[in-house]
Amino acid sequence: TSAEMATAHLGFNIDAPRWDQSTFVGRLKHFLNITDPRTVLVPEKELDRAKALVEACRAGLVPPGSSREQLLYAKKLYDSAFHPDSGEKMNLIGRMSFQVPGGMALTGCMLQFYRTVPAVVFWQWVNQSFNAIVNYTNRNAASPISLRQIGVAYITATGTALATAVGLNLYTKRAPPLLARWVPFAAVAAANCVNIPMMRQQEIINGVTVTDGDNNELGCSRRAAVKGIAQVVVSRITMAAPGMIILPIIMERLERFPFMQRIRVLHGPLQVLLCGGFLLFMVPAACALFPQRCSLALADLELELRDSIVAKHGDKVPYVYFNKGL
């Protein structure tokens, strides 16, 4: 409508969040929007058109006839496929919108094939390879990381996951069957605690750029990096937890029924589908646990950075802000 077009032109800020990002519900709506797995199927050309439209809008050059809905859809595609710091197109596997299809296949297989050591080793290795791509893709792009560091992070995380999975797998041979089904989750949680900090070690070593409330750069903080990365670790473990903890209980009960024992071949596909159901909600919910634009009180910063901010701005900057990554 002409009214919609008018709002698209008059003071429409394409980067302003559609929902209040200071509340969990607002962040959940935001991430339900950008982790929508359907955006994975959008052709490259359409993604490029969406980026061009967003950039035109930022420059105040909204193409005539563009409605607000078109601009919001372009922003949805842009947010799902392009890195928030660098603006570069992210690889398909690393996008948060690929977490549901990719995660459901891998989680389903880890939960199904947990009985033998070779199966545990194979699926944990595949899962850590997937995680390494996701973590590298969603890092804070202001902190470059070398190929050697990526390799060390990948090997360390994979080693941690395999050691946890194989060790617990052997330990639970004499334990109740349900405990053995929870081994994949323990391995995934342990690997996340290693993989994400290792993949983003440059941020811990050099710090991340922190800004004031108006996005003016104030310097780099290692403490901000540690806070952001810790929140991402918690989010990733939360993302996997319901599916990997509740689903084994469901399968344990279902497998007692005679009809389930007759259709053993369908157990794997069933677990994959059920994992998808959990992840559809858990991916956006876990991403929404903490604000994307993370804040840190001035008092919690390193002494030198705090002194330099106070020297320049006095007491006008009580908090600093930074992108925590995903």
Helical (H) or strand (E) element with 295 = strand 293-297
Residue 91 token pair: 């690889």
Percent of the chain that is helix, strand, coil (3-state, to 5): 70, 5, 25
Which of 32, 51, 82 marks a domain boundary? 82
Q: What is the pLDDT of residue 5?
A: 43
pLDDT beyond 80 at 8: no
Domain-embedded: residue 130: yes
Question: 20-24, 54-58, 309-313: which has the minimum mean pLDDT?
Answer: 309-313
Q: Are residues 60 and 171 in the same domain?
A: no
Angle between helices 183-199 and 222-254 (to 10 degrees): 160
Contact 33, 288 (CB under 8 A): no
Confidence tier at 122 by pLDDT (50, 70, 90): very high
Alpha-carbon span 33 to 29, nearest angstrom: 6
* Rounded average pLDDT over 133-147: 75
* Rounded average pLDDT over 149-174: 84
296 three-state secondary structure: strand
H runs (alpha helix) in 85-215: 99-112, 117-137, 147-171, 177-181, 183-199, 201-206
Angle (CA) 229 242 26, round 5°? 60
Q: Are residues 157 and 232 in the same domain?
A: yes
Confidence tier at 202 by pLDDT (50, 70, 90): confident
- Does residue 62 or residue 235 have the better pLDDT? 235
Residue 275 token pair: 């994992």
Domain-embedded: residue 67: yes
Q: What is the pLDDT of residues 261-301, one digit of tens each?
A: 788 778 778 888 888 888 889 989 999 999 988 888 888 88
pLDDT beyond 50 at 1: no
Alpha-carbon span 11 to 63, nearest angstrom: 14
Q: What is the pLDDT of residue 43?
A: 92
Q: Are residues 192 and 309 in the same domain?
A: yes
Q: Are residues 202 and 261 in the same domain?
A: yes
Confidence tier at 7 by pLDDT (50, 70, 90): very low
**How many domains are there within the chain?**
2
Alpha-carbon span 308 to 247, nearest angstrom: 51
Domain-embedded: residue 12: no
Average pLDDT along the chain:
84
Q: Are residues 153 and 109 in the same domain?
A: yes
- Give the CB-side neighbour count of residue 123, counting CA atoms within 13 A: 25
* Rounded average pLDDT over 246-254: 88
- Show the domain range for 56: 24-82
Terminal Cα-to-Cα distance of the chain (whole angstroms): 36
Angle (CA) 263 266 268, round 5°? 135
Q: Are residues 67 and 173 in the same domain?
A: no
* Rounded average pLDDT over 170-186: 83
Closest CA to 122 of 68, 67, 51, 184: 184
Domain-embedded: residue 2: no
Alpha-carbon span 184 to 125, nearest angstrom: 12
Q: Are residues 105 and 47 in the same domain?
A: no
Domain-embedded: residue 268: yes
Percentage of the chain modeled with pLDDT above 90? 15
Residue 215 token pair: 């996005």
pLDDT beyond 60 at 3: no
Angle (CA) 27 30 36, round 5°? 130
Domain-embedded: residue 314: yes
- Does residue 68 or residue 142 have the better pLDDT? 68
Q: Are residues 44 and 141 in the same domain?
A: no
The whole-model pTM stands at 0.80
Q: Are residues 119 and 240 in the same domain?
A: yes
Q: Are residues 142 and 272 in the same domain?
A: yes
